[in-house]
Structures are given as structure tokens and as C-alpha cells.
Amino acid sequence: MTAFLKEREVGFDSSRLGYPSVANCLAVCYVTPNGLFGLHNNGAVDPGPRAERSTAFANFVMAHASYAKGTRLYGVTFAANNRYPASPNAKWAEELGVFATALGFDGKIRGFDLANAGITGSAYVEFRWAGEKAEIWVEAWTGQATTTGAPLNPHDQKFIANRSLAGTPVVLLETKALVVRSVAVGTLTRAHSVRLRH
């Protein structure tokens, strides 16, 4: 089974996470002995929003029933072309470092630049649990057919929402009524990550 994460969604699956339409986004995946935790992080490259997202993601991960200390943190994006036009490797490692700090994780951080797969525009990204690591599989996103439905387990998928309570801005993890339940993927290509830390 694959849990599919749209923009600003966090999720857990014991074996696979899929991220439809990654363009200027960062597909974050935290590998643990029990499975994969992920975030489809669109935008949020400035320090304030980045801190909000990383804290919300860490709160979701560490409160989850399947939480265990992780072994790898991955980030897949169009690094040089879209997300980090200046000093891409340094900025990429810096952003993932913020997530690592929020998670209390001091281990290996790895990434894959989608431009190296010959993809332009947007991509579908999939992580597959492989013990202490994750495999990364990708293909071009061309608006593949999807189906939606209620979350199979609402505890496994949330939406990071910016709300206002009594005039005070807050960041909440909300359950969506509908999530992506399937994606008609084609032939995926295995991608090999590079080291960004350790």
C-alpha cells in the first residue's frame, strides 16, 4: 500500500510514500525501523514558514504510534533549477538540517535533484522502505489520473493548516475529508541519492 501526500500533507506508511506533482516543492522522507514518515513541503523556504513546517512535521512524527528514532532523512526536489537557485547544495542541506533539528535527528541526510533524472516541470516521487534506507523512484508528472477517498487511517495522514484562533496565528494538524488514494503511475525510474550530511 502507498500513502499519497499532496501539498502540505504529512503521512506515515510502513512501506511506501508517494508525492504527486513535485515542482518547487521538497519531498521530505524520514526513515524509521517501523516505516516512512513524509511531508510534501510546498513553499516555506523562508525561515519563519520553514520553522513552522518542520515543527509541525516533527510533532506529527513523534506523536505517532509507529514512531521510532530514524536512520535517514531524505529530501527530493528540483534543487538547482527551482528551489535553491543560488548555492543549491548548501541551501538544500540547510533546509533539511532544520527538519533534522526539529526531529532531534543527527544522522545521515541525503537527497536527489530531480533534474538529474531528465525530468522538467514536475515529477512524481515515491519512497520505498528498505530497512535503514529508502529507495527513491521517480517519473515525470503529467497529470496522472488519481482517485480520492476518505483516509483509511486518519492518524496516518494530516494536513498542516495555518489558522487564527482569537486573532492569534496557529499551525494545526488537521484531518482532511478526502485524500489521494491511488495514482496511475507509469514506469518509474530508480534514482540514487547523494549525501548532504555525514
* Residue 1: predicted pLDDT: 80
* Residue 90: predicted pLDDT: 84
- Counting the structural domains of the chain, the total is 1
**Which residues span the domain enclosing 122?**
2-197
* pLDDT mean over 49-63: 94
* Residue 161: predicted pLDDT: 93
Read off the pLDDT of residues 126-185 as tens digits, 9 standing for 90 and up: 999 999 999 999 999 999 999 999 999 999 999 999 888 888 888 899 999 999 999 999
Which amino acid, 177? A
Read off the pLDDT of residues 92-120 as tens digits, 9 standing for 90 and up: 999 999 999 999 999 999 999 999 999 98
Q: pTM for this structure?
A: 0.95
Per-residue pLDDT band for 189 (boundaries 50, 70, 90) equals: very high
Angle, to 10 degrees, between the axis of helix 88-103 and the axis of helix 47-63? 40
* Residue 166: predicted pLDDT: 84
Average pLDDT, the chain: 93
Question: Which residues of 145-193 form beta strands (DSSP E)?
Answer: 146-149, 157-165, 168-174, 179-183, 189-191
| pLDDT(46) > 80 | no
* Residue 83: predicted pLDDT: 79
Which DSSP letter does residue 52 get?
A: H
To the nearest whole percent, how much of the chain has pLDDT over 70? 98
- Give the closest residue to 142 by CA, choosing from 6, 26, 23: 23
DSSP code per residue over 68-124: ---SEEEEEE-IIIII-SSSHHHHHHHHHHHHHHHHT--SEEEEEEGGGGT--S-EE
Read off the pLDDT of residues 61-90 as tens digits, 9 standing for 90 and up: 999 999 999 999 999 999 887 777 777 788
